[in-house]
Amino acid sequence: MFKGTTILSVRTDKQVAMGGDGQVTFRDGNTVIKNQAKKIRRAYKDKILLGFAGASADAMLLFEKLEEKLERYSGDLRRACVELAKDWRHEKMLGKVEAMLVAANAEESFILSGSGDVIVPDDGILAIGSGSSTALGAARAMLKHTKLSAEEIVKDALLITSEICIYT
């Protein structure tokens, strides 16, 4: 688990939203050095959202690798994620990467981990990072018991998480 980051993605009825905190900490996890880092970006013709938790340089490498796969497979997110996971497991350089990715579009959502996992949620909600359990629980409750939009759920769940998780 990575300290200092929470990324949450919610997908409902062909609508997807992703959010995260902007906190960056030193390796010791005790000192905040930045509060407005951009840990989410758009990819493949602005149709895909990517978010990361972990070491920034490693995440940038993974973003680049996934964007290459998206171009190669014409925006097929599932195929690009599976191919990146294969590379991640077999390339020595990628094997030392300390980051996780969330990738989502209007139809699908995935978590990519360093162990080669490609995880698909049952309910369209994904979370990674230190506050992931809290964010996931809050988002699931809101999705089940409210009519909020995906964007509103992400915002509110991250606010709740920030009140509980000291790293968010």
**Element containing residue 68 per DSSP (H, E):** helix 56-72
Cβ neighbors of 69 (< 8 A, separation 6 or more) are 79, 80, 81, 83, 84
Alpha carbons 59 and 53: distance in angstroms, whole number: 7
Candidates 5, 6, 134, 161; catalytic one:
5
Which of 112, 133, 118, 135 lies closest to 10 in space, CA to CA? 135
Alpha carbon separation from 38 to 27, 68, 73 (Å, rounded): 18, 20, 26
Active site residue 5: yes
Gap between the Cα atoms of 16 and 121, Å rounded: 13
Torsion on CA atoms 150, 159, 111, 52, rounded to nearest 10 = 120
Cα of first residue to Cα of last residue in the chain, in angstroms, is 13
Which active-site residues does the annotation give?
5
